[in-house]
Structure 1
Amino acid sequence: MLDPDSSSSILILFVLLLAHAIFAAAREAIGSVRRSRRMHLIEEGHPAAPLLDNIAEDATKLLTTEQLVLKSLGFFIVAYSAYLYTSPLAQQLHIAGFAALLIITVVAVFVTLLFGELIPKEIGRSYAEPLALALVYPFSWVAFVAAPLSKLVSMIGRLLTGRWDDAEEDSFGTITEDDLRTYVDAGEEEGVLKEEEKEMIYSIFDLDDTYAREVMVPRIDMAAVECNESAREAMQKIVDAGYSRVPVYDDSIDNIIGILYIKDLLRYWLEHNAEPPSIKSLVRPVYYVPESKPVSDLLRELQRKRVHIAIVVDEYGGTAGLVTIEDILEEIVGEIQDEHDAEEFYMQRLSEHVYIFSARMDLDDINDEMDLHLPTDESDTLGGLVYNALGRIPKAGDIIDGASFGVPDVRLTVLTVDGRRINTVKVEQIVKKDGDTGARRQASGEKPSELLRNPRNSISNSS
């Protein structure tokens, strides 16, 4: 048996641990160099840059080589340590051989993880570019030597799991939305992403959980023309509204027969030098979607069908509103203002716990802004919550205790209404701390913040 205290034994363990550390640092460094930076290095003519880009782009080879080499080295470190030190430790401590083996294994694994993986990977991330360029050649040689064994292991894995297809497997496994959000957060913290870019990516994630009813222009705000109106009257309405396309209905807004494009109206006028006898002949087919349609699916369908506007119908088949591609894009990038859009009131912060919101404000956004828990199971908007809580048509001055909808530390006050439509609502969060509330702070003279405008959900039919 080798002497555990001999310099050769210690040197072998040190070399194994050093190889483990270098390979872990190399793998982390190669994977941490951004593609834009790799392209820049290639343009500068760095000799190692093309190989670095080639290996970094082959995620399967990168991960397979890492797993095979690091696990093999780790196994040899633990096994060699156990071989050298189990018996001496058992004799010195007068314990059973199994107990000594367990102690040696735990210590070897800990040392390997700390000094052979965690610390080297942190160094690899911190000095990614110079380490990647310096270590990419030895890494590629190891990957080349390990390739046959990697393929053998992959074939055995497919044999055991019954997966015989030759399609390249996703070596990273299933990446969840939470994983992606974590990567995005890390990207922002490291300065790779700006806050606005992070919010846009988050908005894309949220599309699957957003439904047509949440982004549509509600029925009451729709601009539409009656099919029996003259072309001149229809043209005037479209111009006054500032839209390029509007729904056309017969007798009732619940009976929409098509979509009128202003360019079709103008084309007829120019080609025939006369007013169209009826706008019915110019309407295009209407595309209907249910209120519960996920926005992500809706966007794909609108793109596939090459239409820009869809009519949203409720559970009874009546018209609930309309939604355009612009409305969906605003969920991602924020409000898209054009020369025809009036700036829409969004919210006004009066104090830390007192806000004025548009009744069309999404409850999820209010919850995020004020750190509240307003219920969203029956209503999507603040106006809907007020209607459900009152059980009647609201009027200015109505006060709603949050206890009526399960949030006792909130008070809602209807500020302005227009007929049956709520325009603005004050939301107060009651903070019971030393008798101090958001309302009292407002009364004490704290200045309101600037008026904010809605970055999305603009009232438009798109143009």
Structure 2
Amino acid sequence: MDSDGSRIMIFAITALVLLLLRGYYVACETAVTEISDAKVKSFENEKGQKKILYRLLENTGQLMTAFSVWRVLSTVAIAYFWFNAFSEPLAEKIYNLRYPEAVSFPDTSWYALCLGISAVLVIFATVLVITVFSERIPKRLAMKSRNGTFAVASAGTVRILVVFLLPVTAISSLLTKLFLFIFGITEDNGREIVTEEEILMMVDACNETGELEESQKEMISNIFEFDDTPVSDMMTHRMDIDAVEINDTVTDVVNLAISSGRSRIPVYEGTIDSILGFICVKDLLCLVGCEGVDGFTIKNFLRDMLYIPATNSCGEAFKLFTDNKAQLAVVVDEYGGTAGLISMEDLLESIVGNIQDEYDNDEEEISEISEGVYMLDGTAEPERILEQLGVTLPEDHEYDTIGGLVVDILGKIPDENETATVRYKNIEFTVLVVEEKRIAKVKAVVLPEEEGQ
């Protein structure tokens, strides 16, 4: 083997060894960062590899700097050795495509172009190989290691890397602190922050791999949406409020509580836009067995009501509830009228989903009558229902119910005896029941795509 062949072989083998080492330490970094704080804490009184790992993670900054420096150094070294091993031989091969018999390179312009082409090809191949074999695959393999077994097993070799790179990491840390000082940034402010988007991406990834159930994923997503969800999306609309008038009797309150299953009954004066407070049904228990109940009025049991602007988010409403130790509030629109009612239970349902109790109506918002045919509640949320039917709504829609969607397409409120039919994409909606100028029941038929167009 000639000297050029030996050089190419040595450079190629060196680059391959560095590639394997780089992949190994990328896997180590992934395993170390995936291990939980509680698991690391349990290693405090252990010996051997577990103790080594515990001490390494006591100085996480130095450890992460060592990993970062190694990734950069190894990447540069791999690129250097592969470039020197393959760029010139590849350039010669390309040159010979035009001059097959050439043993020298008299056409310097063509040879320079060949060198440029070979450099691009070698760099592209290097990036591809490093990304696949020294980044993605090692990370995936390390993530399959449960309970920190790989992190513990690799602790000794990680310590060797940290000690070996100590001079470089020390200089790197000093330079970092110097430039942070120059730019007026404290070291704490420069620490890595995990954003909401990154957490949601991790949640999606865990859901795709089966590590997180769909209900858990939805709950986590709802937590992040909590501060952005307006109370108007979660409230009971004014048309659905069960309330009594201030001049009604205590017996009227009891009857309404029994029929509606409500434990807190709003009290209004004149119209529902003037809610004075509410009655807690539990307060009426003192009247059980008493004579002269008719002598008591609603005013004797009236409690103060909390009022919340309709523009408030669920997060803001939750703070008002906790600050005022309240369970029920009136949602007030911009004109001072009653938009609806919202309870602490409604806010919790925006995170965990529907909470059924013994008084709730078990009627489903959507039920399948036959294949492709569904019965829908007219007050159901359109996004959730249509998602189950395989279609989506535009983000700028202005309706909050399935009934609102039908009215928007139809252009009018159907009469009580009218059977109106409309289409949205490949869904055909038929109005079945209209009550008090509101669509109560809708039949939905999922049509084939070409038929629904």
The answer as to 2:173 corresponding to 1:151 is yes
Superposed, 1:33-52 pairs within 5 Å as 33=35, 38=39, 47-49=48-50, 52=53
Deviation at 1:379, TM superposition (A): 0.8
C-alpha distance in 2, partners of 1:413/1:431?
17
Identify the residue that residue 452 of structure 1 maps to in structure 2: none
> Which structure's relative contact order is higher, taking Cα pairs within 8 Å and 6+ residues apart?
1
Q: Note if contact 2:180-2:187 (Cα within 8 Å) is conserved in structure 1.
A: no
Identify the residue that residue 421 of structure 2 maps to in structure 1: 400
Which range moved further: 205-214 or 55-64?
55-64
One-letter code of the match for 2:136? Answer: L
One-letter code of the match for 2:357? Answer: D
Q: Note if contact 1:259-1:284 (Cα within 8 Å) is conserved in structure 2.
A: yes
Which range moved further: 58-67 or 287-296?
58-67
The answer as to 2:330 corresponding to 1:328 is no
Superposed, 1:47-196 pairs within 5 Å as 47-49=48-50, 52=53, 63-82=64-83, 93=95, 94=105, 95-96=111-112, 101-127=119-145, 129-143=148-162, 145=166, 147-156=169-178, 158-159=180-181, 162-171=183-192, 175-177=195-197, 179-196=198-215
Superposed, 1:415-430 pairs within 5 Å as 415-430=432-447
> Cα deviation per residue 1:326-380 (whole Å; 9 max; x = unaligned)?
1122232222122222323311113443211001111101220112245662211
Identify the residue that residue 241 of structure 1 maps to in structure 2: 260
> Cα deviation per residue 1:223-262 (whole Å; 9 max; x = unaligned)?
2222233445434533543333222212221101223333
C-alpha distance in 2, partners of 1:137/1:301?
53
> Cα deviation per residue 1:246-296 (whole Å; 9 max; x = unaligned)?
2221222110122333345557999xx999855446534322233343333
- Secondary structure of the 1:320 match is strand
Identify the residue that residue 450 of structure 1 maps to in structure 2: none
Identify the residue that residue 290 of structure 1 maps to in structure 2: 309
Deviation at 1:74, TM superposition (A): 1.0
The answer as to 2:23 corresponding to 1:21 is yes
Identify the residue that residue 339 of structure 1 maps to in structure 2: 358
One-letter code of the match for 2:400? Answer: D
Superposed, 1:174-253 pairs within 5 Å as 175-177=195-197, 179-231=198-250, 233-253=252-272
Identify the residue that residue 359 of structure 1 maps to in structure 2: 378
Deviation at 1:213, TM superposition (A): 2.1
In 2 relative to 1, CA 319–137 (structure 1 residues): closer, same or farther, beyond 3 Å? same
One-letter code of the match for 1:20? Answer: R
Identify the residue that residue 333 of structure 2 maps to in structure 1: 314
Alignment length, in residue pairs? 424
TM-score of the pair, normalised by structure 1: 0.76
Deviation at 1:423, TM superposition (A): 2.0
Q: Note if contact 1:64-1:171 (Cα within 8 Å) is conserved in structure 2.
A: no
> Cα deviation per residue 1:292-322 (whole Å; 9 max; x = unaligned)?
4333333343234332222122343221211
In 2 relative to 1, CA 120–399 (structure 1 residues): closer, same or farther, beyond 3 Å? same
The structure whose Rg is larger is 2
C-alpha distance in 1, partners of 2:54/2:439?
57
The answer as to 2:403 corresponding to 1:383 is yes
Deviation at 1:61, TM superposition (A): 5.8
Q: Note if contact 2:329-2:342 (Cα within 8 Å) is conserved in structure 1.
A: yes
Identify the residue that residue 259 of structure 1 maps to in structure 2: 278
> Cα deviation per residue 1:429-448 (whole Å; 9 max; x = unaligned)?
33265x7x8xxxxxxxxxxx
User: Structure 1 stretches of 5 or more lacking a match?
Assistant: 438-463
- Secondary structure of the 1:425 match is strand
Deviation at 1:138, TM superposition (A): 2.8
In 2 relative to 1, CA 233–50 (structure 1 residues): closer, same or farther, beyond 3 Å? farther
C-alpha distance in 1, partners of 2:300/2:60?
56
C-alpha distance in 2, partners of 1:241/1:324?
15
One-letter code of the match for 1:25? Answer: A
C-alpha distance in 1, partners of 2:45/2:210?
24
> Cα deviation per residue 1:47-96 (whole Å; 9 max; x = unaligned)?
54466467679876665443222012212222344456656766775533
Which range moved further: 297-306 or 211-220?
297-306
In 2 relative to 1, CA 420–166 (structure 1 residues): closer, same or farther, beyond 3 Å? same
- Secondary structure of the 1:345 match is coil
- Secondary structure of the 2:304 match is coil
In 2 relative to 1, CA 101–421 (structure 1 residues): closer, same or farther, beyond 3 Å? closer
Which range moved further: 80-89 or 182-191?
80-89
One-letter code of the match for 1:117? Answer: E
- Secondary structure of the 1:210 match is coil
- Secondary structure of the 1:223 match is coil
Which range moved further: 342-351 or 318-327?
342-351
C-alpha distance in 1, partners of 2:31/2:208?
18
TM-score of the pair, normalised by structure 2: 0.78
